[in-house]
Chain A
Amino acid sequence: MSSRTGFVGDAWARLPKRVRVLALPVTVLLLVAFYPNYYQDLFSALGGGTTGQLAPTVPTMVVMCVYVTMALGLNVVVGYAGLLDLGYVAFYAAGAYIAGWFATLQFAPDNVHFLSVGVLPVLPGLHFNVWLLLVVGAVFATILGIIIGLPTLRLRGDYLAIVTLGFGEIIPQAVNNGDDWLGHNVTNGPNGLTPIDSLGFGVSIHNTVSFLPSSYRLEINSADYYYWTGLVMVLFTLFCCIRLRDSRLGRAWVAIREDEIAAAAMGVPLMRTKTLAYAIGAFFGGMAGCFYAIFKSSTFPQDFSLNISIAVLCMVILGGMGNVWGVCLGGAVLSYLNYQGLEALGNNLNKVAGTSFNIPQYTFGIFGIIIVSMMLVRPQGLIPTARRKIELEAGVEGGSLYDASA
């Protein structure tokens, strides 16, 4: 501690430990929380115009919140429990369609309103409270996760991956064909469900606490409100993930990841533990999907391609499987690149070089390169967990640790 020199270093060392530990997270949190307030300044600081595009807009930040939530959810499945899930998009779709069913005109002749905000009572269709739907969407995804998980989780590693991939392909197609399920129009097929009701606090709360808008969509800076809501969602997910990681369940997941048979021998109930990982991962996926659908005010089957599952997986790998901070970083960086960054970079490059190369078209090629080079060069991710690092270096699963005695 005395190795730090100079006045600043001394002052830093003299601060209570609690302050030193919290300094970085609090700074980051403040910077992130007030992002909409200084976005314009950042835009100008980068020179505006084409270079200013590099600064993520507030809607991009909302999308980043959604993807970070999903990446954290997938991290529970892939990072903690070591179950490769290639169909994570199914849960995202489940959440989105809950919002689509219970907050649109889809079931129009029926007119059910339940604590809905910002919707005229005469508007036909089902209109439930959208906050409630975030929970319902998450729970629905959880149930779906359990239903998919129970028969499939007994499969090992790569077989599980392919089965989840199958589900991830079946569910979007079922949704796409859902305008004619035995003659019923359930999902409105490729035309999707739109418009979905906006988030909001209702008039009575707005009148008491004036900074809580009655309905986000009526505000000029509605994206800011979505962003702050999304941020709360991310913080909630982060909190849950950290608490889960340090819990008895979290240790059971790690045990299963490292050696399934040994974990079973130690009394870890395999099926229950795995299903819980799957269900909890699905919970966050569903919540993110529901929130994103509400933010976009629409949901389409085309939103749920395999590419999304792979992109989220890529976020987890880039950040460092199992490490929540790494996964947050990976999710934020890749979703930024996907939604704005690559296009902005491409525009800037084209402007400088005078070319007209369309970089965003090759987004998934770039993701592929990221996946492969990460696996080859730094498989533990940008911010690895100590345990994962040892595991990857020693090759526990390959059995090389026991070669001498075996």
Chain B
Amino acid sequence: MTAQSGTSRRPVLAALPRFSQQINRVLTWIVVGLFVVWVVGNFINAPKQFVSVFLLGITLGCIYALVALGYTLVYGIIELINFAHGDVFMWGSMVCVTVSASWFGLNGSQAWYVTAPLVLVTIAATVAFCATLNVAIERVAYRPLRNAPKLAPLITAIGMSFILQNAAALVYGFVEQPLPDILPTKALFTIGGIPYTQKSLLIVLITIPVLLVLSYLVRATRQGKAMRAVAQDMDASRMMGIDVDRTIAFTFALGGSLAGAAGVLFVMYQTSTRYDLGFQLGLFAFTAAVLGGIGNLTGAALGAVLIGLIQAFNEGLSWHTPGSSWTQSLIFSILILVLVFRPQGLLGEEVPDRA
């Protein structure tokens, strides 16, 4: 297996197969070094601003982490880049607006003991909706193609993404969906002129337990064990009596609920959402999953925080930053560089056949 993949993996430098590994390593270190210099330089340039932007990046990274985990779970189990995942996230944010603003009439003026339970109900409703949606997508669009060539479900996923976007536009219109500030926005402290609000902290405080629960689910429960088994070898796990279809559906439900939770947090933080916002945010989250090592849960969370930080640094700091008009290019460059030079990601192990 190693011999086969060796020919297909590094033919550019086929003449120097022994050096390519070292070249990769050196290039990786150069890129990491430049990144560190950039971060440290920015810190020295404007330390206070740096800290506030850092906190912003953490908040952003938490939302990315929730979405990225959905990608990584699904990729880990059926090796499919679920392009529709970002749009499930977008639907989550839309449903959150409907439930919290239209049904419950939350607008931030209620007392906390009214708001808090209703927000929890909103989260529960959105999570349930997104889990169902994701499972339905899997059932309709991916399951029939399980034995088709690998590109078939990938193409279907792109189609699903467009369908979900347009369905949202059909229901909610092509304009921004505003949501009043429901979470408390009082500043906890102000650094570098930018206040750190309670809602930013709340996002982090909600994300961390969700990640811990997910980690527990995958690591310690029977269903999680089944997931890991299916991810490793679908046929073998079927022979061991694991219901593969059910396990995959469960994975999609899990991914969908994470996307739903991320959607709620995102729209409550940003206070508006749009029908087409899911695709790009989804790609950023996917980049995060790849950066951390796709299929690796800790890696996805770590990658997401890194991507959130890079985006925040790029948009909020001034020392040699390309600025917000280049954010997309910057993040996709990271995606390309990681995939080309280190497809196993930061935490992933070298799996010769994966890339």
Instruction: Give me the interface of A with B, judged by CB distance under 8 Å.
Output: 82, 84, 86, 150-152, 154-159, 161-163, 165-167, 169-170, 173-174, 176-177, 260-261, 264, 270-271, 306, 310, 313-314, 317, 361-362, 364-372, 375-376, 379, 391-392, 395-398, 400
Query: Does B4 contact A261, Cβ atoms closer than 8 Å?
Result: yes
Q: What chain B residues lie within 8 Å of A261 (beta carbons)?
A: 4, 8
Q: What chain A residues lie within 8 Å of B154 (beta carbons)?
A: 84, 157-158, 161
Closest A-B pairs by Cβ, 9 of them: A365-B166, A368-B162, A371-B159, A166-B332, A271-B11, A368-B163, A372-B159, A397-B149, A368-B159
User: Given A271, A368, A375, which contacts B12 in the complex, CB threshold below 8 Å?
Assistant: A271
User: Given A361, A364, A372, which contacts B141 in the complex, CB threshold below 8 Å?
Assistant: A372
CB-defined A-B contacts under 8 Å, sample of 16: A156-B8, A159-B339, A159-B355, A161-B151, A162-B286, A162-B339, A169-B283, A170-B333, A264-B8, A271-B11, A362-B166, A365-B163, A365-B166, A368-B166, A376-B141, A379-B148
- B211 touches A (CB below 8 Å): no
- B187 touches A (CB below 8 Å): no
User: Given B14, B170, B326, B355, which contacts A362 in the complex, CB threshold below 8 Å?
Assistant: B170
Query: Does B160 contact A162, Cβ atoms closer than 8 Å?
Result: no
Q: Mark each residue of chain B from 1 to 25: 1 if its CB lies under 8 Å from any CB of chain A, else 0.
A: 0001001111110100000000000
Whole-angstrom distance between the Cβ of A261 and the nearest chain B Cβ? 5
- Please report the number of residue pairs spanning A and B whose Cβ atoms sit closer than 8 angstroms: 157
Q: What chain B residues lie within 8 Å of A310 (beta carbons)?
A: 158, 162
Query: Does B335 contact A166, Cβ atoms closer than 8 Å?
Result: yes
- B340 touches A (CB below 8 Å): yes
CA distance A269 to B174 in the complex (A): 48
With a 10 A CB-CB cut-off, give which of B145, B159, B329 has the most chain A CB atoms. B159
Task: Give the secondary structure class of A's interface.
Answer: helix
CA distance A169 to B335 in the complex (A): 12
User: Given A170, A317, A391, which contacts B332 in the complex, CB threshold below 8 Å?
Assistant: A170
Query: Does A177 contact B165, Cβ atoms closer than 8 Å?
Result: no
User: Given B4, B79, B160, which contacts A372 in the complex, CB threshold below 8 Å?
Assistant: B160
CA distance A166 to B334 in the complex (A): 10
CA distance A163 to B81 in the complex (A): 12
Q: Mark each residue of chain B from 111 to 155: 1 if its CB lies under 8 Å from any CB of chain A, else 0.
A: 000000000000000000000000000000100110111111111
Query: Does B12 contact A151, Cβ atoms closer than 8 Å?
Result: yes
Q: What chain A residues lie within 8 Å of B9 (beta carbons)?
A: 154
CA distance A369 to B159 in the complex (A): 7
CA distance A156 to B11 in the complex (A): 13
Q: What chain B residues lie within 8 Å of A400 (beta carbons)?
A: 147
Q: What chain A residues lie within 8 Å of B156 (beta carbons)?
A: 371-372, 375-376
Q: A159-B339, A166-B335, A365-B162 are in contact. List 7 more A-B contacts (CB 8 A).
A: A157-B151, A159-B355, A170-B332, A177-B326, A314-B159, A362-B170, A368-B161
Q: What chain B residues lie within 8 Å of A313 (beta carbons)?
A: 155, 158
- B167 touches A (CB below 8 Å): yes
- B343 touches A (CB below 8 Å): yes
Indicate whether A395 sits within 8 Å of B336 (C-beta atoms), given known contacts A260-B8, A368-B161.
no
Q: With CB as the reference atom, state the residue of chain A lying closest to B168.
A: A365
Q: What chain B residues lie within 8 Å of A170 (beta carbons)?
A: 328-329, 332-333
Q: With CB as the reference atom, state the residue of chain B lying closest to A150.
A: B12
Q: With CB as the reference atom, state the residue of chain B lying closest to A367.
A: B162
Query: Does A84 contact B8, Cβ atoms closer than 8 Å?
Result: no
Whole-angstrom distance between the Cβ of A252 and the nearest chain B Cβ? 14
CA distance A337 to B274 in the complex (A): 26
With a 10 A CB-CB cut-off, give which of B80, B151, B156, B328 has the most chain A CB atoms. B151
Query: Does B79 contact A158, Cβ atoms closer than 8 Å?
Result: yes
Whole-angstrom distance between the Cβ of A397 and the nearest chain B Cβ? 4
* Interface size, B (range): 35 or more
Q: With CB as the reference atom, state the residue of chain B lying closest to A379.
A: B152
- B194 touches A (CB below 8 Å): no
Q: With CB as the reference atom, state the residue of chain B lying closest to A373.
A: B159
Whole-angstrom distance between the Cβ of A45 and the nearest chain B Cβ? 34
- B206 touches A (CB below 8 Å): no
With a 10 A CB-CB cut-off, give which of A154, A157, A167, A369 has the most chain B CB atoms. A154
B window 330-348: CB within 8 A of A: 332-333, 335-336, 339-340, 343
Whole-angstrom distance between the Cβ of A158 and the nearest chain B Cβ? 5
Q: What chain A residues lie within 8 Å of B160 (beta carbons)?
A: 368, 372
Q: What chain B residues lie within 8 Å of A392 (beta carbons)?
A: 148-149, 152
Q: With CB as the reference atom, state the residue of chain B lying closest to A317.
A: B155
Q: With CB as the reference atom, state the residue of chain B lying closest to A258.
A: B149
With a 10 A CB-CB cut-off, give which of A162, A397, A398 has the most chain B CB atoms. A162
Whole-angstrom distance between the Cβ of B72 and the nearest chain A Cβ? 14
Q: What chain B residues lie within 8 Å of A375 (beta carbons)?
A: 141, 145, 148, 152-153, 155-156, 159
Whole-angstrom distance between the Cβ of B10 and the nearest chain A Cβ? 7
CA distance A317 to B158 in the complex (A): 12
CA distance A326 to B122 in the complex (A): 48
User: Given A150, A361, A369, which contacts B174 in the complex, CB threshold below 8 Å?
Assistant: A361
Whole-angstrom distance between the Cβ of B42 and the nearest chain A Cβ? 20
Indicate whether A173 sits within 8 Å of B329 (C-beta atoms), given known contacts A154-B8, A154-B9.
yes
B window 7-62: CB within 8 A of A: 7-12, 14
CA distance A260 to B149 in the complex (A): 13
CA distance A161 to B4 in the complex (A): 22
Whole-angstrom distance between the Cβ of A85 and the nearest chain B Cβ? 11
Q: With CB as the reference atom, state the residue of chain B lying closest to A264.
A: B7
Query: Does A152 contact B336, Cβ atoms closer than 8 Å?
Result: yes
Q: With CB as the reference atom, state the residue of chain B lying closest to A397.
A: B149
Q: With CB as the reference atom, state the residue of chain B lying closest to A261.
A: B4
Q: With CB as the reference atom, state the residue of chain A lying closest to B330.
A: A170
Q: What chain B residues lie within 8 Å of A156 (beta carbons)?
A: 8, 354-355
CA distance A367 to B354 in the complex (A): 31
Q: What chain B residues lie within 8 Å of A260 (beta carbons)?
A: 8
Whole-angstrom distance between the Cβ of B83 and the nearest chain A Cβ? 9
Q: With CB as the reference atom, state the residue of chain A lying closest to B341.
A: A151
CA distance A369 to B164 in the complex (A): 10
Indicate whether A270 sits within 8 Å of B335 (C-beta atoms), given known contacts A365-B163, A391-B149, A398-B149.
no
Query: Does B332 contact A169, Cβ atoms closer than 8 Å?
Result: yes
CA distance A302 to B279 in the complex (A): 17
Q: What chain B residues lie within 8 Å of A398 (beta carbons)?
A: 147-149
Whole-angstrom distance between the Cβ of A191 and the nearest chain B Cβ? 15
Whole-angstrom distance between the Cβ of B289 and the nearest chain A Cβ? 11
Q: What chain B residues lie within 8 Å of A366 (beta carbons)?
A: 166
